[in-house]
Amino acid sequence: MAVVENLVVVFVAGLITALATGLGALPFFFFDDISTRMNVALWGVASGIMLSASMFGLVGEGLAEGTILEVGIGALAGVLLVVVAHDLLMNSELDARDYEEADFAKLVLILGVLTVHSFPEGVAIGVSFADLNLGTGIWVLGLTIPPLAVFMTVAISIHNVPEGTAIAIPLRSMEVSEWRMVWWAVFSSLPQPIGAVLAFWFVRIAREFLPVGFGFAAGAMIYLVLSEFIPEALDLGSDMRRGGVPELVGGLLAGILAMIPLLFI
């Protein structure tokens, strides 16, 4: 019974991060549009959060559990998996407009593409819960939650909000209803709770691979930030003064600083 309870807790944590993506569509209930400047800054905040969560949370915890070689091997595996997955799935451009217009077969492909982006974040949540109910951590409703799990769940939830906004913007141009924009934003992060459960289950039955798991999640997320999030922000800001770089850097710093207090949980 304890095993099922633990899996449910981890799944709920992953589901919370997925639902947070829907928050990114909420501004469209009140405003017709979001400025490019704000959008670039939000991508910067998301990138800063992911970098700080990866470096301060995952890498730090991985080194506490194992050697730098183990963490490095995991990080390399995370990067390689994302690269290979992109080569297999990203030959066709994916736009949020496709969500509304897709048939079932297309939606399956879209979910596969989304998994490339969301699954590593789910893995990060799963490995961060490795010490769930092992007697140490924060007591919540009779459960002992590892501080790192709280840190990662909050970090990824905040990071997901700008992603939800990015998904909602093109849907807005199609006059999609606000609630459907919220749904499609959440849909984009559905692989996260699945990845969280699978990663948690794996590191609990194969504890010796925990440092590799931490490295894997960190490597995949850092690679996604450097190869996609930051280039996406710069592309959005290409027509702005100084190419949107000040807004991006400001967002990055804000994201990093926002995560520092959580390190002291």
Is pTM beyond 0.85? Reply is no
pLDDT the model gives residue 1:
45
Residue 74 has phi, psi (to 5 degrees) of -60, -45
Give CA–CA dist 21/137, Å, rounded. 27
Q: Could you identify the residue written with the tokens 């297309």?
A: 106
Residues 6+ apart with CB under 8 A from 251: 40, 41, 42, 43, 44, 45, 46, 47, 48, 233
Give CA–CA dist 209/162, Å, rounded. 32
Per-residue pLDDT reduced to its tens digit, 176-232: 788 888 988 898 888 899 999 999 999 888 888 899 999 999 999 899 889 888 888
pLDDT the model gives residue 131:
84
pLDDT the model gives residue 265:
58
Give CA–CA dist 19/182, Å, rounded. 9
Token reading at 135: 């007697």
Residue 52 has pLDDT above 70, yes or no: yes
Residue 16 has pLDDT above 90, yes or no: yes
Per-residue pLDDT reduced to its tens digit, 104-128: 555 666 666 666 678 888 999 999 9
Mean pLDDT for the chain?
83
Per-residue pLDDT reduced to its tens digit, 75-104: 999 999 888 877 766 555 556 666 666 555
